[in-house]
Chain A
Amino acid sequence: MSIDMKIDQKLKSVVAVNANPPVDPEEILDNTSFIELGYDSLQFIKLIVDVEEYLEIFIEDEFLDAKLFENYHYFEQVIHKITSAKNV
């Protein structure tokens, strides 16, 4: 299993368990929005903090705009970008 696949699985599991109500990670698709998963801003930023701890990364301030909140695919892309930079 590649590093990216492992991260994707970890990420999905954190997003799934923090959803309201919690969902099966398999239910999260690229176009799934965080609204559909029951996230509001308070819960979403809490998720960011959890993901930072879980994956031992730092999400730059500039990523905390509205776009990050839109759908799972963009969120995953940002996290991959950060983890890739960390692993270089």
Chain B
Amino acid sequence: MLKELTPLASHSNGVDCRHLSVFNLLNYKQYSHFESVWKQCGLFYTKPTDDAPGLLRSKYLNIEEEMHLVHNIDAFSLKTIDSQGFINDCLKSIKHNDPIIVYVDTYYLKGNFYFQKKHMLHTVILADVEDDIFTLVDDTFYQIYQLEKTDFLKTANIKRDDKYVYNYLTFSLKNAKDILETKDFLKVINQNKIYLSGDLKEEQLQKLSNLHRDYPVKITGMNAITQFVKDYKYFETEQEISQEIYYSLYLSLMELANYHYRYFSFLKFCKLKDPDIDELLDLLEDMSQEWRVSSNMMLKAMYKNDLNLFKRMLRKVENIKMNLQLTLERSAIILCKYKYQGDFQYVD
């Protein structure tokens, strides 16, 4: 068993299973800035077709790019269809005391609340393999599972782009930065400002669409909210909305909430004593909470089948535009004040 690898004792706001697994793994590797590594925050509206309603999203970097951005952490997302190759890598990680994060399907995760109830993509840390028993640490549910090899392979065999694969994450801190400087914070403020404002170049839009392959990105920035509200106004006249729509809205609004919370948490590590940074922090915290309330309203609406909650959610999301505008303005003031010169670095 990897020494002292247990579920994280406390959770900060705005974290999903992947955030928590990475926190725990980096903490285990004694990386002191582990709570600041998630920081991307954009705003886009993805739609399957021009006529159909879509989903709001916030992600514009994959995990390798996000870990590398200012922290210089080398993350690798590995996928294979070869079960034996996957098991060999698992055994190697334990032997070298270098834990990996494994994506699993909760429906097949024995011991989890959703076992044989619900298919959800989830992450766990592989903490030990002994006598073909795989020990997994689950930071979200604060649990440790011990699975036989066949059960482990079953839960780790997940669907990605219409293919069943084993998908796992490894991290190297060889080049990681120990101290974040002012320019690092400014770089992230600048980058998030670009992706929140939606003022994107053609290649950036193309990259976003590659990242969100399920639904192409149609609209970015403030207009994303406007179009989202406009598209869903149609549902206000319906008798009821399906559980699937409520649930997908919950997931996308929760992504917005979590990414805003993570950006807020990242900026809190900034040592600059500056009222403009404080103001930006307040705005981000407010927006995080507003997105969180909106997403939880969709879950509540799903359980109660309550269309009024849906209507109120649309009004709430519409109101977030005001704070978004203030966030963009405050970001511009900060970048101007510190004479931020760095161009946006396109991360490949």
Cβ of A65 and Cβ of B142 under 8 Å apart?
no
Cβ of A42 and Cβ of B142 under 8 Å apart?
no
Cβ of B312 and Cβ of A61 under 8 Å apart?
yes
Provide the residues of chain B in CB contact with A33, threshold 8 Å: 10-11
Residue among A41, A49, A67 with the most chain B CB within 10 A? A41
Q: Is A35 an interface residue (CB 8 A)?
A: yes
Cβ of A66 and Cβ of B141 under 8 Å apart?
no
Q: Number of contact residues on A: which range applies?
A: 10 to 19
Cβ of A49 and Cβ of B254 under 8 Å apart?
no
Q: What mask results when residues 42 to 68 of chain A are scored 1 for a CB within 8 Å of chain B, else 0?
A: 110110110000000000011011110
If A38-B142, A61-B316 touch, whether A48 touches B300 (CB-CB below 8 Å) is yes
Among B113, B140, B141, B293, point to the contact of A65 (Cβ < 8 A): B293
Provide the residues of chain A in CB contact with B160, threshold 8 Å: none
Residue among A35, A38, A43, A66 with the most chain B CB within 10 A? A66
Return the chain B residue nearest A53 by Cβ. B304
Provide the residues of chain B in CB contact with A46, threshold 8 Å: 299, 303
In the bound complex, CA of A5 to CA of B312 (Å) = 34
Q: What mask results when residues 268 to 296 of chain B are scored 1 for a CB within 8 Å of chain A, else 0?
A: 00000000000000000000110011011
Q: Is B13 an interface residue (CB 8 A)?
A: yes
Cβ of B300 and Cβ of A64 under 8 Å apart?
yes
Return the chain A residue nearest B7 by Cβ. A35
In the bound complex, CA of A40 to CA of B292 (Å) = 14
Among B11, B261, B299, point to the contact of A45 (Cβ < 8 A): B299
Q: Is B37 an interface residue (CB 8 A)?
A: no
Which 6 pairs show the lowest CB-CB distances between chains A and B?
A64-B296, A45-B299, A66-B13, A65-B289, A49-B303, A20-B113
Listed in ascending order, the chain B residues whose CB lies under 8 Å from chain A are: 10-11, 13-14, 113, 140-143, 254, 257, 261, 288-289, 292-293, 295-297, 299-300, 303-304, 309, 312, 316
18 contacts between A and B (CB under 8 A): A35-B142, A36-B142, A38-B113, A38-B141, A38-B142, A38-B143, A41-B254, A43-B113, A45-B299, A45-B303, A61-B309, A61-B316, A64-B292, A64-B296, A65-B296, A66-B13, A66-B261, A66-B288
